[in-house]
Amino acid sequence: MSDKSIYIRPTARFAPTADAAAGSLGFAVAGRRDLLFAAAELIERDGSEIARRIVSAAELCSGPLQLAGLLERLTRRRDPVAGLALDRPLVMGVVNVTPDSFSDGGRYLAADAAIAHALQLEAEGADILDIGAESTRPGAEPVDLQEELRRVMPVIEALAPRVRAPLSIDTRKAEVMRRAARAGAALLNDVSALTHDPAALQVAAETGLPVVLMHAQGDPRTMQDDPRYDDVVLDVYDWLGARIEACERAGIPRSRLLVDPGIGFGKTLAHNLALLGASSIFHGLGCAVLLGASRKSFIGGLTGADAQGRLPGSLAAALLGVAQGLQILRVHDVAATRQALAVWEASRGA
Ligand code: 9MG
């Protein structure tokens, strides 16, 4: 039996017209009338053989039955996430509660600083606030459960009654997910896609919250030690597809899942660039897609800029994602991202 897999990477996005809205010129990704594509790259993988060709929207829509299910997932309207409609790009602001980034190493100061930072990001226009207390940067050491709870819970508890933006909990631990959900978190963001903690699948299902499944190869401590893929884009796609199926088996429906290619997590510069350039393919998984490229080291690898100097590269990556219809951008620089999006959106509507 052949184990052939098929993928559709939407390409050739165009601005809506009356004809296109009627569906005669293109196909609408994720049910969005502003996310129209005139063509796609159709990719077939059979073992180590990969065939690619560009097909028109018309060819795609009249293609074999095998394509129909994939096309349906690609074009189906996405459910709102944490009460937010996915009809325009959303900005998720990054809030780290990590004492080691403060000179005195104090836990209380770190919580106060994180709360103030979150309020600032909300004022700058963040749609979602992603709160995390365990660094998952390359080389980072793990944080134990009690320490993570001590760091992150006061921040979630203080912010939940004060902010309009839904809170996302960035954690790999089931117990942190459970407690954060009870304290008002509205989204789970797990860079291990619920693989790190054996209890995470069940706990995530019990919370009833939407979950971001991010791809990573390896653990933060070692993930940059010579990562390898057969084809990085297709391998990441297949891995995320398998995680979606595991979630569905555990009782989390696809409509509650988001996917993320995990820029920088077990990837070389070439892997990151391939993923960024082809990220519209992930719409085929039938979930909203989140992109986290902000200040990542691939920008430094390309330009030599240090983390504080990577805003221009971060904005370029964000717009590359938005051009491909990605629904959520995880960023450090909310005000600057909002400005870039305002120009992007206004020019498309003009
Ligand atoms: C916590 N964290 C750090 N980088 C991230 C990324 O790219 N995506 C998601 N979902 N979380 C991230």
Q: What is the mean pLDDT of each run of 10 residues along the chain (350 residues)?
A: 86 79 79 92 96 93 84 97 97 89 56 96 98 90 94 97 98 98 98 98 98 93 86 98 98 98 97 98 98 97 96 98 97 98 85
CA separation for the pair 285, 182 (Å, rounded): 29
Q: Distance, CA 37 to ligand 1 centroid (Å)?
A: 27
Q: Distance, CA 41 to ligand 1 centroid (Å)?
A: 27
CA separation for the pair 58, 71 (Å, rounded): 12
The answer to whether 317 touches 107, Cβ cutoff 8 Å, is no
Q: How many residues does the chain have?
A: 350
pLDDT of residue 183: 98
One DSSP character per residue, 225-238 reads SS---SSHHHHHHH
pLDDT of residue 271: 98
Catalytic residue among 151, 296, 338, 348: 296
Query: Cα separations (Å) of 276 from 194, 232, 257, 261, 292?
Result: 23, 11, 20, 9, 10
Catalytic residue among 78, 151, 178, 330: 330
Query: Cα separations (Å) of 32 from 20, 22, 46?
Result: 12, 12, 32
pLDDT of residue 25: 81
The answer to whether 271 touches 227, Cβ cutoff 8 Å, is yes
CA separation for the pair 97, 135 (Å, rounded): 9
pLDDT of residue 16: 77
pLDDT of residue 225: 83
- Mutation pick for ligand 1 pocket among 96, 170, 257 (CB with most ligand atoms within 8 Å): 170
Q: Distance, CA 260 to ligand 1 centroid (Å)?
A: 8
Tokens of 282: 């992930």
pLDDT of residue 14: 87
Q: Which helix (H) or strand (E) holds 330?
A: strand 328-331
Please say if 296 is a catalytic residue: yes
Q: Distance, CA 191 to ligand 1 centroid (Å)?
A: 6
- Mutation pick for ligand 1 pocket among 214, 296, 297, 328 (CB with most ligand atoms within 8 Å): 214
Could you list the beta-strand ranges (E) of 173-232.
187-190, 211-214
pLDDT of residue 28: 93
Q: Give the residues surrounding ligand 1 with Cβ less than 6 Å away.
A: 132, 136, 170, 189, 191, 212, 214, 260, 262-263, 290, 292, 330
Q: Distance, CA 292 to ligand 1 centroid (Å)?
A: 5
Residue type, 129: L
pLDDT of residue 63: 77
Could you list the beta-strand ranges (E) of 167-280.
167-170, 187-190, 211-214, 257-260
